[in-house]
Amino acid sequence: MSKEAEWIPLESNPDVMNAFLRELGLTKGYSIHDVFGTDPELLSMVPRPVLGLILLFPITSAENTAKISTVVPSSNESDKVYFMKQKISNACGTIALIHLTANNPALKYDDSSTLGKFICSTSCLDPEARGTALACDVDFRTKHEKISQQGQTAPPSSEEAQNVDLHFVAIVPAEGKIWELDGRKEGPVCHGNTTPDTFLEDGIKVCQAFMQANPNENRFTIVALAKDFD
C-alpha cells in the first residue's frame, strides 16, 4: 500500500458506521449494533438474526493470529465468497463493511447507489482487481472522508494516520461456513461450519481466538450487523 493510497481511519462506532452505510445506499432493516461482551447474557442483547460481525483488534497481535486454528477451504467454497484485497492504508473499516454487505443477499440497496454500483461492477472481478477498483473509486473515497470526520474522537492527523495500529476484519457466514475476511490476507479464511441460528455464538468464538492470542491487549471491539430494533 503506497503512501498516496491512504485514507482517514473509520471509527469503530455503530452510529458512524450506520450513517456511512445509509450514505452508501443501504436501506433500513439492518444496522450495526454494539456487542458489549462475549458472555451469553450480553450476546442476548444483540438483535437477531445477525448477518455478520466486525472485529477491531491491535495489529501488534497479527503475528499471533496465524496460530488460530482454521480450516483450509476448497477453491470452490472460497470462490463463492466475495473477498477483496486492501490496497489503501486505513481503509480496513470500509472494506469490512463492503465484505459484510456483499456477502449478504438479505440486505437491500439501490443498484444506482455508491454501494450498489460498486458491488455490481466488481462482482465478477478477482480480489486484487476489487481492491484496485476501490482505490480508484472517487465517490467511495469522498463518502469515506466525509463520514470519517464524524464520531466521538477527532480524526488523526496525516502523521498519526500513518501509524495507526488497529485493524478491522469482517466475520461472515456463507455457504454454511464462517469466514474471516481480512484484505491483508491472500483470501478468505474458513473457521468451520455455522448456521443462521448459531452464527453469533460461532463468530464470537473466532473473535475470542484473536483475543486469546494476545491476552495482554484490551483494544478489541466487536460490532454486529443485525436486524433493526423494533
**pLDDT one-digit tens code per residue, 60-84:** 744 455 455 555 555 567 788 999 9
Residue 133's pLDDT is: 98
Annotated catalytic residue, options 92, 99, 144, 190: 92
CB 25 within 8 A of CB 115: yes
Residue 76's pLDDT is: 67
One-letter amino acid for residue 29 of the chain: G
**pLDDT category, 3, cuts 50, 70, 90?**
very low
Please state at what angle helix 114-122 crosses helix 138-148, rounded to 10 degrees: 130
Assigned CATH for 14-227: 3.40.532.10
Higher pLDDT, 149 or 137: 137
SS3 210: helix
Residue 136 annotated as catalytic = no
Residue 161's pLDDT is: 46
Any long-range contacts for 210-214 (C-beta under 8 Å, 24+ apart)?
Answer: 210/55, 210/57, 210/61, 210/65, 210/68, 211/57, 213/61, 213/64, 213/65, 213/67, 213/68, 214/57, 214/58, 214/60, 214/61, 214/64
Residue 159's pLDDT is: 53
Residue 121's pLDDT is: 97
Residue 67's pLDDT is: 52
- Is it the case that residue 123 has pLDDT exceeding 80? yes
Higher pLDDT, 77 or 185: 185
Q: Bridge partners of 181? A: 170
Residue 2's pLDDT is: 47
Higher pLDDT, 179 or 162: 179
Domain boundaries, the chain: 14-227
Task: Identify the residue whose cell numbers are 468451520.
Answer: 192
Annotated catalytic residue, options 167, 190, 191, 207: 167
Lowest mean pLDDT among 65-79, 87-101, 138-152: 65-79
Residue 150's pLDDT is: 83
Cis ω on the peptide bond leading into residue 49 (within 30° of 0)?
Answer: yes
Residue 33 annotated as catalytic = no
Arithmetic mean of pLDDT, 22-45: 96
